[in-house]
Amino acid sequence: MTWRDNRVTRRATAPRSKAATADRHDSREARGMMRVLEQIGYDLDALLAQAGLVRHDVENPDAYLSPAACAAVFGAARRERRFPNLALRLAEHTPIGNTPLLDYLIVSSDSVAQGLDRLARYLKLVNPAVRIVVHDKSNPVRIVVERTSGTFETELTIAMSVVRFTRETGDALRAAHVSFTHEPEDVADYARVLRCPIRVRASWSGWALSKAAMSLPLRRGDPALGRYLERQATDILARLRSDGDVRDEVRSVLATQLTTGDLRDISHLSIRAVARCLATTPRTLQRRLSRAGTSFESLCDDARKHAAHTYLRETTLSIAEVTYLLGYSEPTAFHRAFKRWHGTTPHAFRARIAAAQVMATDASGGTMPTDARSNPGTASSK
């Protein structure tokens, strides 16, 4: 199966837009979980109203939801106390694909060990505020959840990971135990759903599994897809520093839109929209950017530069389509910008990448599929 034929890839890399408490987040995860709230019996409109939101904010995939607003929605749901263990219910009912890049990085892994490694490395793409550490030298192996903002986020991270890996192994995985530093509302419920002993008021939060379980295969393992997605994730991480600089906050919003957002909206993403995402005002954001020695326009230009590179290298879109997607009114404007960015024209750039791919394949003695030749950057070496 090639990545071009894989529905998973199309969703993971398709144009569109975390957990509710991070400063920088992929709001699609929160949107998906809000829809799950409605599915399990909550009045979503009432919950949204308490957070100052309306249904359109959830249904429009291109609009950003601030972390504070997302936290307010889930906080309101927890206060209703319709049933215990809301985080566990969300983990049970939230489907794969809320955060495509991370989700499909995991499910395309060949084993539990590789999936956990990718989860630990790339979770920051979805929630920079949470850290997962895999202690694979211990027996049983410990998957420790660190730096969460509270017990709800801890429970959600643990439950989601255990449920996902259990399902992706075809129900073969059994956690050795789950560990919480606090005591969930209904411990027996956690033990029933996660099908393992639950340790409460422990010294660490996370879950453990046997060494043998680490080698269990995942049912949707796809090495070529996994390598392709890792290139996308690594590229984003390389552009996002964790020092809290306002420039990185803005870059994070634009980079999320670049990879999991609708790229057509990069050109229309106003400072007002970004300021709303970062829970500040346009004037304050502009002032902070000025103090940091840059401007919103400069950062948007950089986002377009990376978007153009990604489109021309990783897709078969025509130059005219890329011009449209980046918001340029005419091809000449895009050509001028691209030459300023990369010192060459879009056509010459794409031709050079294609030639390099063919030469690399010929040198290795392999045969590159026809569709990969026309789509530079998508063919993975075995």
Between CA 6 and CA 349 the distance in angstroms is 27
- The predicted-structure confidence for 263-273, as pLDDT tens digits, reads as follows 444 445 678 87
CATH class of 262-364: mainly alpha
pLDDT in tens, 320-333: 888 877 777 788 99
For residue 261, the model assigns a pLDDT of 43
**pLDDT score at 175:** 97
Q: Are 57 and 48 in contact (CB under 8 A)?
A: yes
More confident residue, 303 or 167: 167
Q: Would you say residue 15 has pLDDT above 90?
A: no
- List pLDDT tens digits, range 191-230: 999 999 999 998 889 999 999 999 999 999 999 999 999 9
- In the chain, the DSSP E strands lie at 131-135, 141-146, 177-179, 198-199, 206-209
Peptide bond into 140 cis (omega under 30): yes
User: Where along the chain do its domains lie?
Assistant: 3-214, 262-364
CATH T-level topology, domain 3-214:
H-NOX domain (3.90.1520)
Confirm whether pTM is higher than 0.75: no
Mean pLDDT rounded to a whole number for the chain: 80
- Could you give the CA distance from residue 108 to residue 122 in angstroms, rounded to a whole number? 14
- At 358, the pLDDT band (50, 70, 90 cuts) reads confident
